[in-house]
């Protein structure tokens, strides 16, 4: 019970804190993924076109998943303020 009283007094919301932590991890993952992607561009010339197309589709799916997840969490955080 004291934890709930402390949360009420300080205005901290465990769900909001978890969302912030998730957003931080997603940003770290996105930047890391982007840096790895930039590093692998130099070997893209040696990969056959079919594999390059599959890789591009996989990259698009991964990036879309990260971006949509971030958007969903940002909207949930914004709606919690109301």
Sequence ranges of the domains in the chain: 2-81
Could you give the CA distance from residue 64 to residue 24 in angstroms, rounded to a whole number? 17
Residue 76 has pLDDT above 70, yes or no: yes
Residue 47: DSSP 8-state: S
* Rounded Cα gap, residues 8 and 51, in angstroms: 54
Q: What average pLDDT score do residues 72-76 get?
A: 91
Nearest of 11, 59, 8 to residue 37 by alpha carbon:
59
**Over the stretch 12-63, which tens digit does the pLDDT of each residue have?**
678 888 888 989 999 999 999 999 988 888 888 888 989 989 999 999 999 9
What's residue 27's pLDDT? 92
Whole-model pTM? 0.67
């Amino acid at each position: 019970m004291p934890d709930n009283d402390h949360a009420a007094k300080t205005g901290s919301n465990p769900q909001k804190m978890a969302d912030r932590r998730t957003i931080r991890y997603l940003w770290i993952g996105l930047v890391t993924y982007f840096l790895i992607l930039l590093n692998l561009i130099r070997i893209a010339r040696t990969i056959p076109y079919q594999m390059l197309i599959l890789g591009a589709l996989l990259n698009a799916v991964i990036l879309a998943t990260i971006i949509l997840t971030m958007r969903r969490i940002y909207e949930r955080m914004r709606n919690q303020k109301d």
